[in-house]
Structures are given as structure tokens and as C-alpha cells.
């Protein structure tokens, strides 16, 4: 096993663990912090795969901008967690079954060809070429996404404003 394979498995386990912690936390600020760690792990995975531009975009866009937006929304809404159990046992059964299916599929894939080496060709693209492709062909989708983020921010401001009690 090469050092890259070891790094890959450590990153994959860390990403799965931090994402799992993010979706099971009662405190929403803690969930955002865990999700940021998951995004940093994903960025490192992109860099490991030879896509440094995607790694930087992952950190800037997801870990930076979107998570800060989520954090502001959480702070403005001031959501108070309930005292009841977060996930009842009946909700854990399907999750455990799907996790078991994923583990079996992963074990079969690994054991099917234990000595095979798959070489991936590195696809390099200059950031200029990527941005030209993105903004010339998908400009409408980018504008729609920015509009959706604006609507989400306005909605969070509306929900987070103080109620007039008089």
C-alpha cells in the first residue's frame, strides 16, 4: 500500500466521521463546525486526486462562504433544540441497514481484485479555461444559484428579526 492510499483512507474515514457528527449534533453551531471539517477533508481529497483548483474552490465557496452564511442564519434564527431524543430507534434501523450494505459492497470491491492497480490519468485544466467554460455555458445556473442564496438570506433575516410585542 502506498502513502497516497494510506492518506486516501485516512481522509475518507475523517470525512465520513465529521459528516456523521455534523448530522447528529443537537447544537447547530457544532454541526456547522463539523461540516466545515468535512469540507476541508474533501478539499484535501480533491488535491490528492490532482485537482488543486477544485480543492481551493471547495475551501473558498463551501467552507468559507456557504458555511458562514449557515452560521449567520443559525445565529439569527436562534433555534432552540428540543429535549426529546434526536433520532428514535426506528430511524436508526434503515441507516444501519444501508451502512451495512455499503460496507458489504466496499468489501466485495476491495476483495474482487486485491492486487489490481488502476492508474488514473490526471486531467489538468487551467483556471482561466475552467472559468470561461463555466461562465460562458452555465451563466444562467450561476445566476439562479446566487438568487436562491439571496432569497435564503432574506428569509433568514425575516425569521430572525425581533417580534414587536406592543
In a domain, 89, yes or no: no
- Residue 17's pLDDT is what? 87
Report yes or no: 160 and 78 within 8 Å, Cβ to Cβ.
yes
Task: Please give the average per-residue pLDDT across 81-96, as a whole number.
Answer: 64
Task: Please give the average per-residue pLDDT across 121-136, as a whole number.
Answer: 79
Residue 18 is part of a domain; what is its CATH number?
A: 1.20.120.1200
Give residue-wise pLDDT tens across range 61-72: 887 888 777 777
- Residue 120's pLDDT is what? 56
Residue 114 has pLDDT above 60, yes or no: no
Q: Which helix (H) or strand (E) holds 104?
A: helix 89-112
In a domain, 165, yes or no: no
Domain tally for the chain? 1
Residue 58 has pLDDT above 60, yes or no: yes
In a domain, 55, yes or no: yes
Amino acid at each position: 500500500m502506498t502513502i497516497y492510499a494510506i492518506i486516501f483512507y485516512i481522509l475518507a474515514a475523517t470525512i465520513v466521521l465529521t459528516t456523521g457528527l455534523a448530522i447528529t449534533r443537537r447544537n447547530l453551531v457544532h454541526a456547522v463546525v463539523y461540516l466545515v471539517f468535512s469540507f476541508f477533508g474533501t478539499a484535501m481529497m480533491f488535491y490528492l486526486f490532482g485537482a488543486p483548483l477544485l480543492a481551493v474552490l471547495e475551501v473558498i465557496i463551501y467552507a468559507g462562504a456557504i458555511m458562514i452564511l449557515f452560521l449567520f442564519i443559525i445565529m439569527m434564527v436562534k433555534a432552540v433544540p428540543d429535549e426529546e431524543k434526536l433520532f428514535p430507534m426506528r430511524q436508526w434501523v434503515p441507516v444501519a441497514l444501508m451502512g451495512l450494505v455499503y460496507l458489504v459492497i466496499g468489501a466485495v470491491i476491495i476483495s474482487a481484485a486485491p492486487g489490481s492497480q488502476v492508474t488514473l490519468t490526471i486531467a489538468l485544466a487551467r483556471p482561466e479555461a475552467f472559468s470561461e467554460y463555466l461562465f460562458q455555458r452555465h451563466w444562467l445556473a450561476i445566476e439562479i444559484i446566487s438568487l436562491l442564496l439571496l432569497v435564503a438570506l432574506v428569509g433568514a433575516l425575516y425569521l430572525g428579526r425581533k417580534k414587536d410585542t406592543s
